[in-house]
Amino acid sequence: MSDFWKEKNVVVTGGAGFLGSYVVERLKERDPASIFVPRSKDYDLRSREAILDMLRAAKPHLIIHLAGVVGGIGANRERPAEFFYDNLIMGVQLIHEAWAYGVEKFVIIGTVCSYPKFTPVPFKEEDLWDGYPEETNAPYGLAKKMLLVQSQAYRDQYGFNSIFLMPVNLYGPGDNFDPETSHVIPALIRKCVEAREKGEKNIVVWGDGTPTREFLFVDDAAEGILLATEKYNRSDPVNLGSGFEISIRELVNLIARLTGFEGEIVFDTSKPNGQPRRALNTTKAEREFGFRAWTGFEEGLRKTIDWYLQHHNLRAAKM
């Protein structure tokens, strides 16, 4: 293990969430002096006073900022103002107060949603400013993108060491399966499992099935974030992805097969597709800090489905 973490106090905002829980577990293996996970009930990070209280309590050398308001296309369409304001105000104030406090390094987790709607595939970091994001998640993507601007500005003026990572859509055990706020993989897993159990003849999927997506297994993402924290020290953005692109049509067919759903898949073309294609160039992450995803997509899906079935069956047994 790297000596980088020795005697470091580390704050992981969002450390109790989906990605955060994996980052915290991998961080424990590196044995820093302390790991502090601020809970929203104790520290509302949209409040400057709460941020100052958190800094005084944790005395961090490093902050890994994972906290955010996130969701799928439906949630982004219904709550665009909330997605913009909460993500922006939380990040802007936290970065500023961390700099003022003297934090040694700040890791910002951005989003692939910051890329322009029609970015050439695979997305290269240099393409980030070549157009406006896809409309359904633009408020979220732009709020996160402003944290990149802040990172670069604070490095230029103050020498503040912050980095900006852009993971693709994450998935894995422990994901959010709430039908109102979940992303595409957990939403499709739940639909297929419930339809199979109820004997339903079809499931309905938003869009026409042609958009493509890239997905990164959450444990791989956690390791990538910690490698970047150890080894990367510039404010130029870096993609985190798997290098594997799949269409929504192929994805739903694969999930149907893995969950045992044999009914018809109906595509509701009155609903938005989202970004037409999404796949990343991941060479920079490998070059700069040695990250390459190792979990195969079908393997990751099986683990996610198994986790959901186990917890779904536990809930059903308690009812």
Instruction: Give the number of other Cβ atoms within 10 Å of residue 92's Cβ.
Output: 15
How many helices (H) and strands (E) the chain has is answered by 10, 11
101 is catalytic: no
CB 291 within 8 A of CB 248: no
Q: Which amino acid is at 184?
A: V
- Is residue 159 helix, strand or coil? coil
* Annotated catalytic residue within 140, 154, 171, 308: 140
* 21, 15 contact by CB (below 8 A): yes
CA distance 315 to 149: 44
What's the CA gap between 315 and 7, in Å, rounded? 41
Q: What are phi and psi of 116, to 5 degrees?
A: -60, 155
Distance CA 54, CA 49 (A): 9
Element (H, E) at 230: helix 218-231
Q: List, by residue number, the catalytic residues.
A: 140
